[in-house]
């Protein structure tokens, strides 16, 4: 199948797109990949929906803004793909399937006596009608309903991508998005994964909160600051880091309040250390040291994050692009791959990635009328 995968991360930066030819097991060919920045209108609407989601009581009716944001998200995906496909000489009719993750506005991990909650906004039916192509979507709720974490879902793709590149385990793949998550691939080929802690998300929120832009471009702010070890220790005392994996996070799970007395530069440096130290602790939990950590996602463009990882981890650190991977497109590729698995009824979550009792299929498909 030739599949267009979409991903919009919690950084609310862009619609990422990638075309993959796959049967949901082997990767048969890589098509083009790219992105289109979110319009200010859609970004602002998703931010407003996120604020509403954070205040949304369980069992209460969904706020009206969710449907509005879902429609806007679908329109944004369609417009981005129209440009993208035309630029690469493709038509909608060339595609067999679309995989749309949607915009996460809420993610709560399960607690004692309560399943988790997760919400990704994107009107898959509207996208299917406009594109004339079936859309796979809603990848997380079956896992949540079965008592799983609902995240991360990319690990099965990380395994397929590593195999396609001929990489030998044991190795690990780290995606540094709004939240960072790591996949450990054992010599046996077994995968284990969980969210390690913050990725770019806290730094982005901090910079925006201080009126200094949307993100720390090239890590320049962090590079000029110093780490406050007492503040870092306070973050690392969060109960999340004592919880056993599998486990998952929302980018709003750690407040910015402990940074209020720090300068912007020192706060950014401290958050970089937080991201890297959380990854180091993830390695300690797993016990097995991989020969290499492959880093994908937007965080790898921050030299301070890459430097901090190299200083703290006991293995070789490499940018995904060094292996010929498309480091900015891994998540979009992953949801193209997961769409194929949804179409075939193959598992997308596993006991050691989300905590479900058995490998579990997920996702739904809506077809154009």
DSSP assignment of 114-158? B--EEEEE--HHHHHHHHTS-EEE--SHHHHHTT------THHHH
The pLDDT value recorded for residue 363 is: 98
Pick the closest to residue 331 from 76, 92, 35 (CA basis): 35
Digitized pLDDT (tens) for each residue of the chain, 369 residues in all: 999 999 998 888 899 999 999 999 999 999 999 999 999 999 999 999 999 999 999 999 999 999 999 999 999 999 999 999 999 999 999 999 999 999 999 999 998 889 999 999 999 999 999 999 999 999 999 999 999 999 999 999 999 999 999 999 999 999 999 999 999 999 999 999 999 999 999 999 999 999 999 999 999 999 999 999 999 999 999 999 999 999 999 888 999 999 999 999 999 999 999 999 999 999 998 877 899 999 999 999 999 999 999 999 999 999 999 999 999 999 999 999 999 999 999 999 999 999 999 999 999 999 998
Q: What's the whole-model pTM score? A: 0.96
Give the phi and the psi of residue 14 in degrees, each rounded to 5: -160, 165
The pLDDT value recorded for residue 289 is: 85
Domains 2-148+361-366 and 166-323 share a fold: yes
Torsion sign over Cα 301, 196, 331, 212: negative
What gap in Å lies between CA 46 and CA 44, rounded to an integer? Answer: 5
Domain-wise residue ranges, the chain: 2-148+361-366, 166-323
Class of domain 166-323: alpha beta
* 2-148+361-366 CATH fold: Nucleotidyltransferase; domain 5 (3.30.420)
| 3 state DSSP class of 85 | helix
């Amino acid at each position: 199948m030739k599949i267009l995968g979409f991903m919009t991360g919690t950084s609310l930066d862009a619609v990422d797109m990638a075309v993959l030819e796959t049967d949901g097991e082997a990767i048969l060919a890589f098509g083009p990949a790219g992105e289109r920045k979110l319009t200010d209108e859609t970004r602002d609407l998703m931010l407003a929906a996120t604020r509403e989601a954070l205040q949304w009581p369980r069992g209460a009716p969904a706020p009206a803004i969710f449907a509005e944001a879902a429609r806007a998200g679908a329109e944004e995906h369609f417009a981005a793909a129209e440009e993208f496909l035309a630029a690469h000489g493709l038509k909608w009719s060339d595609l067999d399937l679309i995989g749309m993750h949607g915009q996460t506005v809420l993610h709560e991990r399960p607690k004692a006596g309560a399943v988790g909650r997760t919400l990704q906004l994107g009107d898959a039916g509207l996208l299917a009608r406009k594109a004339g192509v079936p859309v796979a979507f809603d990848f997380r709720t079956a896992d949540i309903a079965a008592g799983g974490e609902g995240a991360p879902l990319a690990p099965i793709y990380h395994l397929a991508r590593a195999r396609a590149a001929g990489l030998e385990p044991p190795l690990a793949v780290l995606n540094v998005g709004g939240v960072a998550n790591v996949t450990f691939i054992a010599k046996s080929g077994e995968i284990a994964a969980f969210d390690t802690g913050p990725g770019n998300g806290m730094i982005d929120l901090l910079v925006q909160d201080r009126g200094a832009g949307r993100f720390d471009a090239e890590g320049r702010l962090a590079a000029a600051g110093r780490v406050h070890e007492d503040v870092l220790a306070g973050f690392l005392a969060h109960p999340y880091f004592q919880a056993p994996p599998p486990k998952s996070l929302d980018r709003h799970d750690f407040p910015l309040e402990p940074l209020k007395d720090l300068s912007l530069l020192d706060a950014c440096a401290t958050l970089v250390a937080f991201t890297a130290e959380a990854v180091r602790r993830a390695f300690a939990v797993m016990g097995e040291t991989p020969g290499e950590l492959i880093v994908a996602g937007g965080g790898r463009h921050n030299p301070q994050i890459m430097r901090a990882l190299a200083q703290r981890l006991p293995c070789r650190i490499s940018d995904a692009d060094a292996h010929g991977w498309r480091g900015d497109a891994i998540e979009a590729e992953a949801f193209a791959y997961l769409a194929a698995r949804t179409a075939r009824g193959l598992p997308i979550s596993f006991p050691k990635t989300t905590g479900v009792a058995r490998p579990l299929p997920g996702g739904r498909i809506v077809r154009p009328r």
